[in-house]
Amino acid sequence: MLWPSPPWDRVVYWALDLETGGLDPRTDAILSAGMVPIRAGAVRLGEAFSTLVRPERADRVDPGSVRAHQLVPDDVRGAPGLDEVLARVDERLREGALLVHQAALDVAFLKRAYRRAGRRWPSPPVVDTVALLLAAAKRARLIDPGAPDQEPELNLLAARRRLGLPDYGQHDALTDAIATAELFLVLRRRLAARTLRDLR
């Protein structure tokens, strides 16, 4: 028996993006976080949250990552520490669902940060726009078997372009969180998702 699932637009989704010092959640630092909510089916820019994060001494920053996010040690030296930032992230995550582009990466970084801070992971429902892109491509092939059998673009910028969304600057945590939120709304409509369960 399936538990009832709330209508998709009654759920608060906190779109989140992290800029990190590399791609390894076991060793690389979180350098910035950006979050923006979707309430009643609309992105609420006035409630956006964005901060730099001061890495712990043990955290690694791969010099190659600086080319992407342009954050150098001086930028984050005076930023709040990870514990302080996690407290602000946590209060948002406890309000609803976590919305990310590439859950395998961002959720892994968050879970490690929670463990290190001695915090209990709140286990929010996670909605991943990468998974939604794959589901939308599959649905399109079911509706039109004659459609070209091509894989969807999974890169955030490329996926947005393919769906007619505007280009934004990349590798800024808040900008990427907003870009993810907008992409989610387009994909939700394409999938005709009616409940939170339809989006997971």
Give pLDDT tens digits for 95-131: 999 999 999 999 999 999 999 999 999 999 999 999 9
DSSP strand E in the chain: where? 13-20, 30-39, 42-43, 49-52, 97-100, 126-128
pTM of the entire predicted model: 0.91
CATH superfamily name and code, 8-192:
Ribonuclease H-like superfamily/Ribonuclease H (3.30.420.10)
Residue 68 main-chain phi, psi, to 5 deg:
-80, -55
pLDDT, tens digit, 9 for 90 and up, residues 36-63? 999 999 999 999 999 999 987 656 665 6
The shares of helix, strand and coil residues in the chain, as percent rounded to the nearest 5, are: 45, 20, 40
Residue with tokens 């059998």: 149
**Residue 65's pLDDT band (cuts 50, 70, 90):** low
pLDDT at 55: 84
Q: Tell me, rounded to whole angstroms, the distance of Cα 121 from its chain centroid.
A: 16
Residue with tokens 């990349």: 170
